[in-house]
Amino acid sequence: MKFKAAQIAAQVGGTVEGDSGIEVHRVDRIEEAGSGSLAFLANMKYAPHLYTTGASVVLIPEDYKLEKTVNSTLIRVPDPYSAFAELLRLYEEQKASRLTGVSPQAYIHPKATIGENCYVGEFAWIGENVVIGDGTQVYPHVYIGDDCRIGDQTVLYSGVKVYRDCRVGSECILHSGVVIGADGFGFAVQSDQKYLKVPQTGNVVIEDFVEIGANSTVDRATLGSTIVRKGVKLDNLVQVAHNVEIGSDTVIAAQTGISGSVKIGSRCLIAGQVGFVGHIEIADDVTIGAQTGIARSVREPGTVLLGSPAMDASLYKRVIVWFRRLPDLGSRLSALEKKVKE
């Protein structure tokens, strides 16, 4: 498929500088793009590539000032990254047709209800009293346990497992290997130091527009529900324990582990390999850097945290400066001790 610069600008609300009739038929990174490619400039460390790229069209910030002449046609937009994401979404919608139909090799319980225009692939297993909304895609080898509810236009890729009595909203995406509703990690220590399993009788509720990356897990609650609110995005390899609640539009990167009964606010940004102890609360709009250890509640909205144990980002940066100087300070201290002895 080919698109003209003028068509792209109209779609993203941009302004063309250059040949509005030039066509592109693929998307590339700005440093690797060639003729016929669409690229974007959002991170200014890549700005030098704007003057050497072979891309036919480049999305740039509307307030960016050119340092010299460029060969590409430019489209100025408020946010190049968001505009590029929107164009990729439209491109994917046109390229990928949604599947429909139910494979005769799938198992569907007689009491299950499947909506209109759904796809159920080979060897999928859909249990008793399951309700699946219109247009939902259930790829091969998906398991959906008894009494589950899946919304409209949701995609469950191959290998997804949804245990009994769980809820998944509309327009969600669950990637391969996702497990929803496995037992929470609950054991009672006995007098003989053995562990008695605590039955996990709750469920998982995932609201609309949630995306969960490959091999991530969301455990069912001991009582009540583990809840993932509307618009949450979880990366690959994220662990969400029993009775956790994640607020709307929060984003969590890979290898983060959230212990039981943690409540995370809305619009939080949580980087990779962050660890949360159990039974704490995180306010709205909190940003947490990679490998941070959260051992206590964060009450102040908008807080930025780094380090383990976590501390305010500005304090952490000062601490790191001194930490790097410790070998030199140690040598100086040893020299002073030697002089005192002398």
87 belongs to a structural domain? yes
Give the rounded percent of residues in the chain with a pLDDT score beyond 90: 89
Q: Mark whether 49 is an active-site residue.
A: no
pLDDT at 88: 84
pLDDT of residue 268: 98
pLDDT in tens, 12-30: 999 999 999 999 999 999 9
Does residue 14 fall inside a structural domain? Answer: yes
Distance of CA 336 to the CA centre of its chain: 52
At 40, the amino acid letter reads F
Q: Within a domain: residue 241?
A: no
Query: Can you tell me the distance from the alpha carbon of 183 to that of 202, in angstroms, rounded to the nearest whole number?
Result: 9
Residue 23 belongs to some domain of the structure: yes
Q: What pLDDT score was predicted for residue 251?
A: 98
Q: Are 217 and 178 in contact (CB under 8 A)?
A: yes
| Among 197, 205, 207, residue whose Cα is nearest residue 169 | 207
Low-confidence residues of the chain, pLDDT below 50? none
Pair 206, 218: CB distance under 8 Å: yes
Inside any domain, residue 287: no
Residue 15 lies inside a defined structural domain of this protein: yes
**In this structure, is the dihedral angle defined by the CA atoms of residues 155, 218, 86 and 150, taken in order, positive or negative?**
positive
3-state secondary structure the chain: CCEEHHHHHHHHCCEEECCCCCEECEECCCCCCCCCEEEECCCHHHHHHHHCCCCCEEEEECCCCCCCCCCCEEEEECCHHHHHHHHHHHHHHHHCCCCCEECCCCEECCCCEECCCCEECCCCEECCCCEECCCCEECCCCEECCCCEECCCCEECCCCEECCCCEECCCCEECCCCEECCCCCCEEECCCCCEEECCCCCEEEECCCCEECCCCEECCCCCCEEEECCCCEECCCCEECCCCEECCCCEECCCCEECCCCEECCCCEECCCCEECCCCEECCCCEECCCCEECCCECCCCCEEECCCCEEHHHHHHHHHHHHHHHHHHHHHHHHHHHHHC
Q: For position 51, which CATH number holds?
A: 3.40.1390.10
Q: Residue 61 sits in which domain range?
A: 3-95
pLDDT attached to residue 96 = 60
Does any domain span residue 49?
A: yes
Number of domains in the chain: 1
Q: 253-256: which pairs have CB atoms within 8 A and are 24 or more residues apart?
A: 253/290, 254/213
Domain membership of residue 74 (yes or no) is yes
Task: Note the pTM of the prediction, 2 decimals.
Answer: 0.85
* Residue of 49, 109, 242, 279 marked active site: 242
